[in-house]
Each structure stands twice: as C-alpha cells, then as structure tokens.
Amino acid sequence: MPFVKLHVSSRRIFRRGKLVREVRLALVETLGIEPDHGHVVLYESDVFSRATDKSRSVDFVFVEILMFTGRSDDMKERLFARLNEIIHGRTKVPERDIVMVIVESERKNWAARGGVPISSLDIGY
C-alpha cells in the first residue's frame, strides 16, 4: 500500500491529473501491488516557498515514497527509473532536478480499514 507525495512548483504548466494517474499506475506495474492499492498526492508550492542552490532549478520535484519494508533493491531501482521517466516527461523538469526518497516501515506501523494494523489484514502481498 505505497503512498507517494509529489512536491512540485506551481509555476510549471502540465496536466496534473495525468501525472498522478501515471505515477499510481507505475506503482501497480513496478511493485506488483493490487490495482486498487496505492495512493498519490500532488502538492504545489510557489517559487517563494522553495529554496535550492543557484545551480539547481527552483522548479525541482521532490518525491516521497512511503511503503512497506521488504522490496528488493532491484524493484526500488526500477520504480525510481519509471517515476523519473514519468515526472520528467510530464513536467519537463530536468532529470537532475528530480529527487526521490523511499521511506520504508513495517506493516505493523500502518493502519487501514477502520484503523486496523495492516499486519493483521490480508491485503494480497
């Protein structure tokens, strides 16, 4: 049940709905999750709410991927590559200005379906 947060510049013009749908589909295809699992949220901030070194674009994209522990390094690398391809393709932000992080935690630290720990649920993976 991965959860992806996309942080983008509000001054970039692109089709936001297509981006979030493609990112969610990449979760299903790359991680092998059920088609009805996975969440994606897009957050926008103006250029006055962003800071980076002058050698980088203030239009950088930061991606946080929250998911269960246990996936292989190869699977994570494929996810990084696919998300980079989608984000660059949709936003036209230079690839050097797309930064991603995976934050993993055990299933006992997640809850769903009325606050039930996911470690107690059969979610299919």
How is the chain split into domains, by residue range? 3-120
- 99 has a pLDDT exceeding 70: yes
Closest CA to 40 of 28, 54, 51: 28
Q: Are 38 and 5 in contact (CB under 8 A)?
A: no
Please check whether the domain covering 3-120 is classified as CATH 3.40.190.10: no
The amino acid that residue 114 corresponds to is G
- 40 has a pLDDT exceeding 90: yes
- 92 has a pLDDT exceeding 90: yes
124 — pLDDT class (breaks 50, 70, 90): low
The mean pLDDT value for 18-40 works out to 94
Q: What is the pLDDT of residue 125?
A: 63
The mean pLDDT value for 51-56 works out to 90
